[in-house]
A and B are shown apart, each in its own frame.
Chain A
Amino acid sequence: MSIQMPPADASVLGRRDEIVAALRQIVPGEGVISSAAEMLPYESDGLTAYRQPPMVVVLPDSTEQVSRVLRYCFEQGIKVVPRGSGTSLSGGALPLKDAVLLGLGKFKRIREIDFDNRVVVTEPGVTNLAISQAVAHAGFYYAPDPSSQIACSIGGNIAENSGGVHCLKYGMTTNNVLGCEIVLITGEILRIGGKAPECSGYDLMGVITGSEGLLGVITEITVRILQKPETARAVMAGFPSVESAGECVARIIAAGIIPAGMEMMDKPATAAAEAFVNAGYPLDVEALLIVELDGPKVEVDELILRVDAIARECGQTTCQVSNSEEERLLFWAGRKAAFPAVGRISPDYICMDGTIPRGRLAEALTRIRGLSETYQLRCANVFHAGDGNLHPLILFDANRPGEIDRAEAFGADILRLCVELGGVLTGEHGVGVEKRDLMPDMFSDIDLAHQQRLKCAFDAQGLLNPGKVFPTLHRCAELGRMHVHGGKLAFPELPRF
């Protein structure tokens, strides 16, 4: 592990037995896990390069238990790392040696389905997909669909503000959440928002979403559900260059079309996916674009024609339009399996997650190719092209000395490139530990201080998920200090009225 985590508190470690016993008082039975063997599954999340056994795992099953656990930790000065299903790709749920790992896995109940208000009230441990399945009989679904949706929890989705293939049209998690019950580190239980379309006061729900478990522990969530579109069809077009595919993406948007999804794969990614699932992808193209349109049949049929015409203008060399649901799913099968497919052609890989302005796609890819040569590591690229979100997959072999370090350095360079091109470090996977030390490439100390002061408003002792998101830990008192910039109210240069 090359990243520095906050130093473990020896006095906390020294009290481990006492802490375990106290937690057992709050969460009886199997809810407290303290043996090394049983804690093994919790020592990493989806970012498996980083591992650390926690001090103890606690799995409460009620809001009251969560509140008591947090209050205990707050009073005792013990750090807490919250965890949903543990699918984070940025190390958001990476344990700390001296922290309680608070798992929400027992919060598995959907509490209410309210079709009239088009919302589902659910506990945080329910999987993303289970919400859609619970309302499917009435034609509804929950729109954000991260590719881990079969396993990832809705609570984790809130923490990470998860995206997915369809967020171009339907938004990210933040655009689909209305309210929550949240427990602060002090144990205080608050309700933010609810079934009403807007909350009152400051948009606390908006800032809790995507806060990566640093502000509080969510114990209930209210999400919006939508009616499933009548139909969906996809166009799969091959292009002789990434530039022409990128141009096609830009022209589709310029034509006023917002596809349900718009995905691009480069040649190495296409080859790996095709070898894995035999989706019928053309292997002689430099870029493959999948554009999905959804809605009423008459609309989809018309837009498919428009997209096809634009793709032809942009020099597509192959084109298929799905004429059945089976065919549409086949087009997607390769894209959805791109990560495991790449896993077959390389012993190890890491998946990056930057976003750039759509118009800089070709430039980004050319530069990534250059970096690939510099670092002597292969790279396959899949993009959410519609929203400029890149997922370069860097291939390496962890058994070769130094290769993982090279892969990480390559990845960091890609993310710096994204920022340089006017983009951001992470589009949907979160900062976590993975991109933490790159934050200063995007934000100044002052920018970060404004974020950290907000953290202080929720968690003044910095006990919740420390070591994530922010490269430097500051004391809240130090952040809150006001520099008075001298002088009296005088604005000599400003026009007055």
Chain B
Amino acid sequence: MDTLKVRNAADVEQVVRAALASEQPLEILGHGSKRMIGQPMATNAILDLSGLNAVVSYEPNELILTVGAGAPLADVLSLIDSKNQHFAFEPMNPALLLGSGSDTGTIGGMLASGLAGPRRVKDGGARDHLLGAHAVSGFGDSFKTGGRVVKNVTGYDLCKLLTGSWGTLAVMTEVTLKVMPRPESQRTLVLRGLDDVTAVKALTAAMGSPFDISGAAHLPASSRAAPSDALADIGVAGEAVTLVRLEGISVSAIERAASLATTLASYGVAQTIEDDVSAALWKSVRDVARFAATGPLGAWPVWRIVCPPASGGAFGQQLATDTGGDVLYDWAGGLIWAALPPVADAHAALVRGRAEAVGGHATLIRAPESIRQQIDVFHPPRAGVAALTQRVKNSFDPKDIFNRGRLTRRTTT
């Protein structure tokens, strides 16, 4: 398979136009760190964006960063970290879960997948931080959308569509992101021994408090999951732990942690974890270290289920019981990661049926290609939305040149 390494947006246009002329679908690739996610594709050539790696401009005082879509996420994170800034949506690094190596991928991949971490409960997702983009559509033309300012309603907000579209609408070449000040300090309250339903009730109480929670997770006790250094470090290995994070200037984080501990007193006595130890804990939640590809559950399919937060506890507990699987909860119950024992359909019918019943949806984030070939990786939309989705796809990429087949399983070929 040809790999076409582009140097600039004009190269991308050229590649896409040639692909159109010869009707050859392209796989859009950064570093390939999330390549194992999605339906297996029917592409003939690879459009490699890793060469578009320039930092075009970084203005910390404007809270604005403009970079090439192929810029390595790790480099960009260390650049903005040097100014005490970060991406507030806390991008997830799925490498541990997928077993895709140590590379954390590119900015383009971060946006195209839109996988946000624990702080989504407070600061939103990737979609809330992309301000502007230059991209090449399936018409072979470069276009821009959005701008380089945080407040902008000029024209349709195509940035929202590009984020989370898994490279199926257009090839982003340069993007402008909102960066935010990194909180000076963090505290995490740890409650022990709660069952999933009670834990999500505690998280709901925390989120309903005025203490500005920036992370709300629950890790049930598990005899199977990969042992966690982060949990061992705080002396709770093997127990169910419920975690609530508070960030900000130190005096504020400390006081809110104390107030919240009082609010949650009926759920037990909370242990308070500080700064670096707390950060390590949240990193392991963010990256779902429990279900690491190299760990004991590495061979199990992993689902990412998004649902109304308050229904998460009962949903996850029942799912774990009925399948003999393992679950963990982020976003105060709104995000459930489920590693389920391997069966032919990866429990798709069960997971999807129940997710829809509570107003949620489920993505099969990790599974062998043979399974991903046979079931829908992304949650199939209802008929009307599916038709609209197809029209939107056609409006950007009518010849289905980009990442053909990645989002939607082809049942007829």
- Could you list which residues of chain A lie within 8 angstroms of chain B, going by C-beta atoms? 114-119, 138-139, 160-161, 163, 167-168, 171-172, 174-175, 184, 188-192, 194-207, 209-211, 227-230, 250-251, 253-254, 256-258, 295-296, 298-299, 302-303, 355-359, 384, 387-389, 422-431, 435, 439, 442-444, 446-451, 453-458, 469, 480, 482-491, 493-497
Residue B350, interface by CB 8 Å: no
| Cα(A429)–Cα(B151), bound, Å | 11
User: Nearest residue in B to A231 (C-beta to C-beta)?
Assistant: B210
The 6 sampled A-B contact pairs (Cβ below 8 Å) are A188-B384, A198-B116, A227-B208, A298-B251, A431-B153, A483-B140
| Cα(A491)–Cα(B45), bound, Å | 12
| Cα(A139)–Cα(B251), bound, Å | 23
User: In angstroms, how far is the closest chain A Cβ from the Cβ of B395?
Assistant: 4
Judge whether A453 and B396 touch: CB under 8 Å.
yes
Partner of B156, one of A172, A444, A454, A496: A454
Which B376-391 residues sit within 8 Å CB-CB of chain A?
Answer: 378-379, 381-382, 384-385, 388-389, 391
In the complex, which residues of chain A have a beta carbon less than 8 angstroms from the beta carbon of B381?
A: 200-201
Residue B18, interface by CB 8 Å: yes
Judge whether B21 and A387 touch: CB under 8 Å.
no
Judge whether A489 and B24 touch: CB under 8 Å.
yes
Which B40-64 residues sit within 8 Å CB-CB of chain A?
Answer: 45, 48, 59-64
In the complex, which residues of chain B have a beta carbon less than 8 angstroms from the beta carbon of A428?
A: 151, 153
User: Nearest residue in A to B181 (C-beta to C-beta)?
Assistant: A256
| Cα(A118)–Cα(B204), bound, Å | 9
User: In angstroms, how far is the closest chain A Cβ from the Cβ of B388?
Assistant: 7
Judge whether B385 and A423 touch: CB under 8 Å.
no
Residue B235, interface by CB 8 Å: no
In the complex, which residues of chain B have a beta carbon less than 8 angstroms from the beta carbon of A116?
A: 204, 208, 309-310
The majority secondary structure among interface residues of chain B is mixed
Using known A-B contacts A115-B208, A357-B148, determine if residue A206 contacts B157 with beta carbons closer than 8 Å: yes
User: Nearest residue in B to A216 (C-beta to C-beta)?
Assistant: B388
Binds A, one of B161-169, B187-195, B268-276, B319-327: B161-169
Judge whether B310 and A200 touch: CB under 8 Å.
no
| Cα(A447)–Cα(B144), bound, Å | 6
Most buried by A among B84, B128, B139: B139
Partner of B161, one of A118, A184, A200, A203: A203
Judge whether B17 and A450 touch: CB under 8 Å.
no
User: In angstroms, how far is the closest chain B Cβ from the Cβ of A474?
Assistant: 13
Judge whether A491 and B15 touch: CB under 8 Å.
yes
Partner of B251, one of A302, A439, A489: A302
Binds A, one of B280-288, B291-299, B356-364: B356-364
List 7 extra interface pairs beyond A256-B84, A483-B140, CB under 8 A: A118-B309, A190-B388, A211-B156, A295-B252, A302-B252, A435-B154, A446-B141
User: In angstroms, how far is the closest chain B Cβ from the Cβ of A463?
Assistant: 16
| Cα(A206)–Cα(B149), bound, Å | 18
Judge whether A196 and B5 touch: CB under 8 Å.
no
| Cα(A485)–Cα(B164), bound, Å | 29
User: Nearest residue in A to B16 (C-beta to C-beta)?
Assistant: A485
Partner of B309, one of A117, A444, A482: A117
**Chain B interface residue number, banded:** 35 or more
In the complex, which residues of chain A have a beta carbon less than 8 angstroms from the beta carbon of B394?
A: 457, 480
In the complex, which residues of chain B have a beta carbon less than 8 angstroms from the beta carbon of A299?
A: 248-249, 251-252, 255
Judge whether B158 and A227 touch: CB under 8 Å.
no
In the complex, which residues of chain A have a beta carbon less than 8 angstroms from the beta carbon of B151?
A: 163, 167, 172, 355, 384, 387-389, 427-428
Residue B209, interface by CB 8 Å: yes
User: Nearest residue in A to B311 (C-beta to C-beta)?
Assistant: A117
Judge whether B152 and A427 touch: CB under 8 Å.
yes
In the complex, which residues of chain A have a beta carbon less than 8 angstroms from the beta carbon of B19?
A: 489
Partner of B164, one of A202, A439, A483: A202
Judge whether B61 and A450 touch: CB under 8 Å.
no
User: In angstroms, how far is the closest chain A Cβ from the Cβ of B74?
Assistant: 22
Q: Which 8 A-B pairs have the closest CB atoms?
A: A206-B160, A256-B181, A299-B252, A116-B310, A195-B308, A457-B391, A200-B361, A485-B17
- Could you list which residues of chain B lie within 8 angstroms of chain A, going by C-beta atoms? 2-7, 11, 14-15, 17-22, 24, 45, 48, 59-64, 84, 116, 120-121, 124-125, 127-128, 137, 139-145, 147-161, 163-165, 169, 180-182, 184, 204, 207-212, 248-249, 251-252, 255-256, 259, 306-311, 331, 334-335, 359-361, 363, 378-379, 381-382, 384-385, 388-389, 391-396, 398-399, 407
The majority secondary structure among interface residues of chain A is loop
| Cα(A256)–Cα(B62), bound, Å | 11
Partner of A482, one of B139, B155, B157, B335: B139
Judge whether A487 and B359 touch: CB under 8 Å.
no
User: Nearest residue in A to B182 (C-beta to C-beta)?
Assistant: A256
Partner of B11, one of A253, A454, A485, A494: A494
Judge whether A210 and B153 touch: CB under 8 Å.
yes
In the complex, which residues of chain A have a beta carbon less than 8 angstroms from the beta carbon of B140?
A: 483, 485
Judge whether B5 and A495 touch: CB under 8 Å.
yes
Judge whether B21 and A486 touch: CB under 8 Å.
yes
User: In angstroms, how far is the closest chain B Cβ from the Cβ of A259?
Assistant: 12
Partner of B21, one of A296, A451, A487: A487
| Cα(A105)–Cα(B139), bound, Å | 41
Judge whether A196 and B361 touch: CB under 8 Å.
yes
Partner of B210, one of A117, A229, A449: A229
User: Nearest residue in A to B85 (C-beta to C-beta)?
Assistant: A256
In the complex, which residues of chain A have a beta carbon less than 8 angstroms from the beta carbon of B14?
A: 491, 494
Partner of B145, one of A203, A356, A447: A447
| Cα(A158)–Cα(B59), bound, Å | 30
User: Nearest residue in A to B253 (C-beta to C-beta)?
Assistant: A299
User: In angstroms, how far is the closest chain B Cβ from the Cβ of A245?
Assistant: 15
Judge whether B306 and A482 touch: CB under 8 Å.
no
Partner of A227, one of B210, B389, B395: B210
| Cα(A258)–Cα(B181), bound, Å | 8
